[in-house]
Amino acid sequence: MTREQEANLGLELATKRQEHADLDAAIATLTQSRATDQMLIQRLKKRKLALKDRIVELETILIPDIIA
């Protein structure tokens, strides 16, 4: 993997982590609100889960396991 590819993946990872945190905050706010749309909350949770999967995938690529 080239340094440019690694840098691009690192940038994507940072972006996905921020988006994941933003969704977490939005879900928490909507959950506390009394007039909430449960379908919206479920869609946000599904998107958050997909982001988490991509974050794990990127971390696996960027930080390979080192067998001791």
Residue 50, CA distances (Å) to 30, 33, 45 in order: 19, 24, 9
Domain ranges (residues) in the chain: 3-59
Its pTM surpasses 0.95: no
pLDDT surpasses 60 at 3:
yes
User: pLDDT per residue over 57-68, tens digit each?
Assistant: 999 999 877 765
> Are the C-beta atoms of 67 and 21 separated by less than 8 Å?
no
Residue 6: pLDDT over 80? yes
User: Over the stretch 13-62, which tens digit does the pLDDT of each residue have?
Assistant: 999 999 999 999 999 999 998 777 899 999 999 999 999 999 999 999 99
